Amino acid sequence: MPREVSFVMSRSALPRSLGPRRLLARNIVALLVGAVSLALCASQSRAAERLWYFDASGETLRNRAGTVVSYREGQWEFDVDGGGTLRLPTSRVVALDFESSESWTRGLREFQEGRWESAYTDLIQAYRDEPREWAKLEIQAVIVRCAVATGRDEIACRAFQELLDTDPQTRHQGLVPLAWTRGVASAQWQATAEGWMRSDVEWDRLLGASWLLQSPLKEPARGVLIDLTNSRDKAVRFLATMQLNRDELLTANAAQLTQWRTLIEEAPAEFRTGPRALAAQVAARLEPGDDAALAFLRTALDQPSHELWIAEGLLGAARQLAANSPQEARAILDELLRRFPESDAAKLGRNLNLTTE
């Protein structure tokens, strides 16, 4: 699924404030559906292999059909149909559409349709069936997303760690399955997360501390996160800082919210969604209504993102609009139920009381 495509659209199209409710009614659903359609364009354009990438300027999105020759140490080599070879760093690659086994085709379709449980089984089989190393990495990234969506948090973390171990320069770092919207780690794998906090790998320590921040091991987890705010890795620094802000959800004031938003906008685009979810929860307390709805919608529009976070962003926006803009709330809720029928957010959304004339 294209990573930066939806982000570029949402950044240019979404106003900083929704303003009058008339503007909200006219634009909010159109923006949402437009971004979603753009994000799915690659998966709906099937070819043997199709590479989506940014040109050298980083401004123009291109795509070419052809064949992957190799992927080594963060560099793609791609033979283009009709002649020519592309050699691209992974930082410029947005998406790769490819054919694999029947399990991959079925699992990807099920995943995109929100049928996560059946998708998970097929994706695991697709990974086992796939002989090409670069394709296995792409499948594993979708497995991470599907594991998060189905609440298999430990599996998601392990799959992400394996992805980083195999491909340290992976373009899928933005899918790191941190605890943004979940509660405490379950007892059955707290010991595992505690072990990660002692790892030499910063991403492992970040994962462990994130999942233990609201557990009996809160203090050592905070200590690890504080240490990681001094990391040389900008992404790790940012994520550790925002993880620490989870302790401020009920007390953060308007000035702190402004500070969080500034940090988010300065961060690499692929790591913004989880932190935006935190900011949206504070906005719901300080700025209920239209502004909070926009904050939740931003979490639904950012790419890359976990489907779980998108679903909860849609639910948050619908809740904020329910009282004064029920028609817009209904449209967003319908989108949630259509795209993510198996999500906890959809289950809660079905109980949302919307009165429309």
pLDDT at 6 over 70: no
CB 149 within 8 A of CB 134: no
Between strands 75-80 and 85-89, the pairing is: antiparallel
* Arithmetic mean of pLDDT, 46-56: 83
Q: Does 100 reside within a domain? A: no
Confidence label for 355 from pLDDT (cuts 50, 70 and 90): low
pLDDT at 290 over 90: yes
Task: Name, in order, each residue with C-beta under 8 angstroms of 16's C-beta and a sequence gap of 6 or more.
Answer: none
Q: Does 236 reside within a domain? A: yes
Q: Does 224 reside within a domain? A: yes
Maximum pairwise Cα distance, the chain: 60
| DSSP helix/strand/coil, 49 | strand
Q: Does 197 reside within a domain? A: yes
Of all residues in the chain, what percent are helix, strand and coil, respectively (each to 5)? 60, 10, 30
Q: Does 198 reside within a domain? A: yes
pLDDT for 353: 80
pLDDT at 258 over 50: yes
- Distance CA(300)–CA(106), nearest Å, equals 25
Helix pair 153-166, 133-149: axis angle to 10 deg: 160
pLDDT for 304: 67
Number of domains in the chain: 1
- Distance CA(184)–CA(129), nearest Å, equals 35
Other beta carbons within 10 angstroms of residue 14's beta carbon come to 18
pLDDT at 3 over 90: no
Span of 26-35, 156-165, 275-284 with lowest mean pLDDT: 26-35
pLDDT at 17 over 70: no
pLDDT for 356: 54
303, two tokens: 């790419």
Q: Does 238 reside within a domain? A: yes
- Distance CA(243)–CA(237), nearest Å, equals 10
Rg (CA), the chain: 20
pTM of the model: 0.85
Between strands 85-89 and 93-98, the pairing is: unpaired
pLDDT for 163: 94
Q: Which residue has the higher pLDDT, 299 or 187?
A: 299
Q: In what order do the strands lie in the sheet with 61-72?
A: 85-89, 75-80, 61-72, 49-54, 93-98
The parent domain of residue 213 ranges over 178-246
Q: Does 106 reside within a domain? A: no
Confidence label for 52 from pLDDT (cuts 50, 70 and 90): very high
Q: Does 101 reside within a domain? A: no
Confidence label for 183 from pLDDT (cuts 50, 70 and 90): low
Confidence label for 306 from pLDDT (cuts 50, 70 and 90): confident
HEC per residue, 93-153: EEEEEECCCHHHHHHHHHHHCCCHHHHHHHHHHHHHHCCCHHHHHHHHHHHHHHHHHCCCH
